[in-house]
Amino acid sequence: MTTTVEFGKDLTGLEGLSVDQISTILDVAEPFKEISERPIKKVPVLRGKTIVNLFYEPSTRTRVSFEFAEKRLSADTVNISGTGSSIVKGESLVDTARNLEAMRIDMVVIRHGSSGAAQFLADRIPSNVINAGDGQHEHPTQGLLDMLTIRDHMGTLDGRRVCIVGDILHSRVARSNIYGLTRLGAEVAVCGPPTLIPHGIEELGVQVFKRVEEAIEWAEVLNVLRLQLERMKAGYIPSLREYNRFFGVSVARLEQAPRDILILHPGPMNRGVEIDSHVADGPHSVILRQVTNGVAIRMAVLYLLAGGSPERAEAAKKGTRS
């Protein structure tokens, strides 16, 4: 029963993962859901491991979700955020990480504003590195929890039609969703204003809808992205009101759909901009389910990476008594 699927040292994105690796993470997350429902929400599997949550960008949901996951696996955790640390004194990412390594840590969870920061760090330190969002690159655990939530409700991802609506250009969530969902056989589309759809996105195997009505006509699942308010100042969209009028997911629009559509949103929501309150709180919204699943997914990733080094795989081959 030892794992047959090998994982590398790090999780920096879903782009490089195989079907088996992604499926294994989703499958392992299932039993971890139950741990969070127990009166004592803790198992000792990562006892003695030290994990640093290194957050260069503000985050509540992702950081807290990782922290719960770590604590429920009995790891010791330290949180370092951009403000109030030596980061503001100009210390480089690698220097910060090397100093942490000198204190004997085992894993780093990193959120950073620059694309590629997680991989940059992973290549330079021996600890496991988990990407909790790097610039406009990837947010793999968010992609995985979205996939788990869709699979929970639809049974499978294979052949399901998922449309990601919103700012695709700047979204690491969109990228991780596209890589993961297409890898597992889902049909993926994106929808948003032309200024926020990257050129050549079709090369990733997705189709593009210019109008949200078309997306709703086609999709079984809508993953509605947060519209970063600073995009308006940068001139990508004329106004929030106009965005809502053309791309907001509303009850009236969903009523035109030929079927019930599952609604996801990675949070935090701008109610009344990209999503209306009645949709966010409606019967087909699984937004809070995503949050619950996020803890289970992060537990699964931590568990699989913590035990996945080549030396351990070697020891497993030699055979250990159980």
Partner 1 sequence: MDEPAVRRAVARMAREIVERNAGTEGLILVGIHRRGVELADLIAEEIEKSEKDKIPLGTLDITLYRDDLSVIGPRPVIGASDIPADIEGRAVVIIDDVCYTGRTARAAMDHLADFGRPARIYLCVLVDRGGRELPIQPDFVGRHFEVTPAEDVAVLVPEQDGRLAVELRKTDKG
Task: Assess whether the previous peptide bond of 268 is cis (omega < 30° from 0).
Answer: yes
Query: Which region, judged by CB under 8 A, interacts with partner 1, from 1-9, 123-131, 137-145, 196-204?
Result: 1-9
Q: Which of 147, 120, 112, 205 is nearest to 21 (CA)?
A: 147
Distance CA 135, CA 49 (A): 28
Q: Is 28 in the site for partner 1 (CB under 8 A)?
A: yes
Specify the residue, 233 or 321, whose C-beta has the smaller distance to partner 1: 321
Specify the residue, 74 or 228, whose C-beta has the smaller distance to partner 1: 74
* Angle subtended by helix axes 140-154 and 61-72, to nearest 10: 80
Q: Is 5 in the site for partner 1 (CB under 8 A)?
A: yes
Q: Is 96 in the site for partner 1 (CB under 8 A)?
A: no
Q: Is 315 in the site for partner 1 (CB under 8 A)?
A: yes
Q: Within positions 29 to 88, which residues make up the interface with partner 1, using CB under 8 A?
A: 30-32, 34-35, 38-40, 42-46, 73
Q: Could you tell me how many residues make up the chain?
A: 322
Q: Within positions 197 to 236, which residues make up the interface with partner 1, using CB under 8 A?
A: none
Q: Is 148 in the site for partner 1 (CB under 8 A)?
A: no
Distance CA 102, CA 119 (A): 20
Distance CA 59, CA 182 (A): 27
Shortest Å distance, C-beta 184 to partner 1: 16
Distance CA 69, CA 301 (A): 10
Alpha carbon 38 to its chain centroid, in Å, reads: 25
Shortest Å distance, C-beta 40 to partner 1: 4
Q: How far is CA 301 from CA 33, 100, 170, 295, in A?
A: 13, 21, 25, 10
Q: Is 259 in the site for partner 1 (CB under 8 A)?
A: no
Q: Is 2 in the site for partner 1 (CB under 8 A)?
A: yes
Query: Which region, judged by CB under 8 A, interacts with partner 1, from 209-217, 251-259, 278-286, 305-313?
Result: 305-313
Residue from 241, 259, 271, 312 in contact with partner 1 (CB under 8 A): 312
Distance CA 92, CA 270 (A): 34
Q: Is 296 in the site for partner 1 (CB under 8 A)?
A: no
Distance CA 68, CA 246 (A): 38
Tokens of 84: 């109030």
Q: Which secondary structure element, helix H or strand E, spans residue 35, and what is its range?
A: helix 19-35
Shortest Å distance, C-beta 311 to partner 1: 9
Residues of this chain that bind partner 1 (CB under 8 A): 1-5, 24, 27-28, 30-32, 34-35, 38-40, 42-46, 73, 303-304, 306-309, 312-313, 315-316, 319-322
